[in-house]
Amino acid sequence: MRLFLFISLGLLLSVTAYSQKRLIVAADGSGNYKTIQQAINAVADSSKQVTVIYIKKGIYKEKLILPATKLNVKMIGEDKSNTIITYDDYHARKDSTGKEIGTSGSASFYIYGAGFSAENLTIQNTAGLNAGQAVALWVAGDLAFFKNCRFLGFQDTLYTFGPGSRQLYVACYIEGTVDFIFGAATAWFQNCTIYCKKGGGFVTAASTPDSVKYGYVFKNCNITGDAPSQSFYLGRPWRPYAKVVYINCDLGTQIIAQGWDFWRKESNKTTAYYAEYKNTGDGFKPDDRVNWSHQLTEAEASLYTINNVLKGWNPNATIK
């Protein structure tokens, strides 16, 4: 019996060791690598194995790229407030040829690889309020999961780039001024704090493709900030078929009573889909909302489950 237990334990440890590879990043040299990019580069291409990259406290000024060949990478920071990935590019900055890098070139961290996840990290762009578009995080890869992370910036903080790619944000803090959550992905935000900073005016700028059923869903989120009262719209359509829904969210006084903007194009009123269900707070004024937005019925709201929105993918079983 003891021999059987010993063999079983050995097999279990072998399976665990095989299923995860672990790397440690520490700026002081106490880990396997001093930079995060070095650790990313060390991940085997096209691996089905989960690679866990532990990142010790520190400020890592790096412009990071997780290539499409780096799959199933999980980053865990030692502390979300003190484990910081940062850069300061912005859209008008010139590259070596003298050409502006543009919004897509401004990100501090690019994620192309599928199956990425992160916990306890801050990802920021420090270009500043007057720099214009300056992305902190740019996510193209499918099945991206962020938990207990902070995304800091001003305009265009979080670029959910991948058209129809599935992204999940749980207990995260996201701040910005203009269109600071934007892009074409299908993204579910649960128990997040969405912080509207002074000098802005729009929370979301979704560009959901017409062929994709769901865009952004915010559930049980707190929309707050230091911006003046009645200064922020919940969203405006970057592309005609933008889709955004807020469910059971606490809307702060920063939210404009009309709720939604049509981005100077009348036809967007008939193509964009903007809706709410059982929101609360000073910013929830359903009687004042634009007449082309929607207040969901109970039956309509029941369709907005994580299983439906993310097509059966749910890395956090506590969310329904």
User: What pLDDT does residue 19 have?
Assistant: 62
Tokens of 221: 């989120």
Average pLDDT over residues 167-177: 99
Whole-angstrom CA distances from 210 to 48, 118, 133 are 32, 29, 25
For residues 144-154, average pLDDT: 99
How much of the chain, in percent, has pLDDT values that exceed 70?
94
Q: Is the dihedral of CA 94, 96, 97, 101 positive or negative?
A: negative
∠ CA 36-39-42, rounded to 5°: 155
Residue type, 3: L
- Measured CA to CA in angstroms, residue 31 lies from 36, 53, 137 at distances of 11, 10, 25
Catalytic residues: 179
Question: How would residue 1 be classed by pLDDT, with cut points 50, 70 and 90?
Answer: very low
Question: What pLDDT is stored for residue 316 in this prediction?
Answer: 81
Query: Would you say residue 8 has pLDDT above 60?
Result: no
Query: 291: pLDDT confidence band, cut at 50, 70 and 90?
Result: very high
- Tell me what the mean pLDDT of segment 182-188 comes to: 99
The token pair that represents 212 in the structure block: 């994709």
Tell me how far the alpha carbon of residue 55 is from its chain's centroid: 19
Q: How far apart are CA 238 and CA 241, in angstroms?
A: 9
Domain edges within the chain: 55-309
> Which amino acid is residue 276, in one-letter code?
E
Q: How confident is the model over 19-59, as pLDDT tens digits?
A: 689 999 999 999 999 999 999 999 999 999 999 999 999 99
Average pLDDT estimate for 146-157: 99
pLDDT above 80 (res 130): yes
- Report the chain's terminal Cα–Cα distance, integer Å: 42
The predicted model gives 85-96 an average pLDDT of 98
pTM of the model: 0.93
Nearby residues of 243 by Cβ (< 8 Å), 6 or more positions away: 206, 208, 212, 213, 214, 215, 216, 272, 273, 274
The whole-number pLDDT of residue 318 equals 73
Give pLDDT tens digits for 248-287: 999 999 999 999 999 999 999 999 999 999 999 999 999 9
pLDDT of 147 higher than 60: yes
The pLDDT assigned to 99 comes to 97
Tokens of 163: 């058209």
Tell me how far CA of residue 310 lies from CA of 65, 96, 204, 221, in angstroms.
25, 40, 19, 18
- Give me the chain's average pLDDT, please: 94
Judge whether 185 and 167 are in contact, CB under 8 Å: yes
Residue 119 above 70 pLDDT? Answer: yes
Position 20 scores a pLDDT of 81
pLDDT attached to residue 4: 33
Q: What distances in angstroms separate CA 61 from CA 27, 88, 124, 268, one per listed residue?
A: 10, 9, 10, 40
pLDDT score for 15: 40
What's the token pair of residue 228?
């003046």
- The length of the chain, given as a count of residues: 320
Considering the domain 55-309, what is its CATH architecture? 3 Solenoid (2.160)
pLDDT tens for residues 74-89? Answer: 999 999 999 999 999 9
